[in-house]
Amino acid sequence: MTTHQPTFRLATLGAAMCAALLMTACGGGDDDPSFKTLDGKQPQVIAHRGYSGMYPEQTRMAYEKAADAGADMLELDMHMTRDCQLVARHNAWLSDSTNIADVAKTNATVAARKRTTKGVLVNVKYPAIPANGPSQYLSDLVEPGNQKSVLKALIVDGEDHSNDWSISDFTMQELRDWIAGTTLDNRADRPTEWNGKLPLISAQDVIDIAAAKGKSLGRSIPVYAETKNPYWNNQQAIANGCGSGSHPFEDAVMALLEKNKLNSKDSAIYIQSFDPDSLKYLRKAGMKAKGVQLIDGNDFDLKDGSMVYITTDEWTFISGRPYSWTLAGDARTFAVMQTPAGLAEIKTYADGIGPWKPQILAHSVVPFKEGAGLKDVNTLKDTGLIANAHKAGLIVHSFTFRNEARRLAGIYKGDPVQEFLAYYRLGIDGVFTDFTPTGVKARDAYIAELKNQ
């Protein structure tokens, strides 16, 4: 059963909040703080796509700057190129995090590769009732029976990206030579000096950067790599002639682990995915490295902080449930992964979970007022997810911590350090952040707080 902690408000942030949430966690000797993490060590600051709050994400500069700023791990997303290489990029489409639209103005080859074919609607296999979301989803298999036809439309896990460029239409060398990265999240609030100036890099490049930086800084810097949109990547890879099986994407991940001698429980790498099928396949294929099941959601109800997974649009398929569940006719949502039974199931194939922040601390407005938004959140409530995950033997790494005021619940009064502290005090094992220095600063404050109890 989930144990709920008392709610707390802005006035109690600080020592009183600590007492309300972590009566036992805030002890510890002056020289030896007592952490509530699963292993008893300090929480990890995970550089989300590098130091992406200041530099174009998933570029060499972003990763090197994150390491220099004290990141414990370097996080990346992996997709597969036309020539079957693993590239570090968040989205399968390229226009929102690269300068490809500008490149296409003068590069006819790039311009010609824009995908304009429309997807086709497919009926869901589970009961087509409102409680399960839309009754149809978009597919890129525009010619049934013709695997190659998935290379025409740009539909990723039910999400329509027509009139954009697919990462699977370019070789790794073409991406390096032609395309450069830009900021993605909160782009209007972030520096643009390096946009369009830093080339895209491979997953191997990130491993090499982590190793080189670790050597120069005198510490181990693990890589935290995600298998993004695994079903889509596998179907694209098969159509592009990559590998001989049904999972060329995960097979490439296995090859990456073996090549770098990272396929052991204690290796400096984590493999994460929102789709359990990807992690389960990797385990069956012999992956011994640490795995993390990411847990998504679509929204939260500010009346009581409850999570929203089912929507009336394609977001049900994108963030409401693993896409493999939609394909299999499984109408469950990510909510089931947070139950004791769901956590026990995850423990059979992964070492941890990566939930969205409000799944750990429920956000609400009390008393509720119509039209309220994130800026009005004045109440946070521990859902017990960290405690339950730790009880199941799972680490907890949550996403994504950002500095911008409009990304922060109103209770934090525009101070991102306070958000980090709220989660550190709950015993979180690690945080994904776009701003490494802020995560490190908040952790230092947390450690000082523990020593002073």
**pLDDT tens for residues 19-30?**
333 333 333 333
What average pLDDT does the segment 113-134 reach?
98
pLDDT class for 31, splitting at 50, 70, 90? low
**Cα–Cα distance between 87 and 76 in angstroms, integer?**
9
Q: What is the pLDDT of residues 242-257, one digit of tens each?
A: 988 999 999 999 999 9
pLDDT at 258: 98
b/e string for 11-21 if b means 16 or more Cβ within 10 A? ebbeeebbebb
Residue 1 in this model has a pLDDT that exceeds 70: no
For range 100-117, the mean pLDDT: 98
Is a pLDDT exceeding 80 seen at residue 16? no
Cβ neighbours of 106 (radius 10 Å): 8
If you write DSSP's letter for every residue of 53-101 in order, what string do you get? TTS-TTSHHHHHHHHHTT-SEEEEEEEE-TTS-EEE-S-SB-TTTBSHH
Mean pLDDT of 218-245: 97
Residue with tokens 């769901």: 342
Q: Distance between CA 220 and CA 269 in Å, rounded?
A: 10
What is the spatial distance between Cα 340 and Cα 334, in angstroms, rounded to a whole number?
13
Q: What is the pLDDT of residue 357?
A: 98
Q: Is the pLDDT of residue 137 over 90?
A: yes
Rounded CA separation 365/257 (Å): 45
pLDDT at 425 over 70: yes
Residues contacting 299, CB < 8 A, separation 6+: 307, 308, 311
Residue 112 has pLDDT above 50, yes or no: yes
pLDDT tens track for 148-188: 999 999 999 999 999 999 999 999 999 999 999 999 999 99
Alpha carbon distance 111, 210 (integer Å): 34
Q: Quick one: pLDDT at residue 25?
A: 35
End-to-end CA distance of the chain: 30
Write down how long the chain is. 453
Q: Which tops the pLDDT comparison, 30 or 265?
A: 265
Residue with the larger pLDDT of the pair 168 and 6: 168
State whether the Cα torsion 93-96-99-103 is positive or negative.
positive
Least confident of 11-15, 60-64, 304-308, 343-347: 11-15
pLDDT in the model for residue 33: 80
pLDDT > 80? residue 386: yes
Give the pLDDT score at 453. 85
Average pLDDT of the residues in 131-154: 97
Token pair in block for residue 24: 């036992």
* pLDDT grade for 312, boundaries at 50, 70 and 90: very high
User: Above 50 in pLDDT, residue 399?
Assistant: yes
Share of the chain above pLDDT 90, in %: 92
The whole-number pLDDT of residue 32 equals 65
- What the block records as the tokens of 7 is 């709610």
Spell out the SS3 assignment of 17-42. HHHHHCCCCCCECCCCECCCCCCCCC
DSSP state of 355: E
Residue 4: is its pLDDT beyond 50? no
Is the CA virtual torsion 368, 373, 379, 383 positive or negative?
positive
Residue-averaged pLDDT of the chain: 93
| pLDDT > 80? residue 7 | no
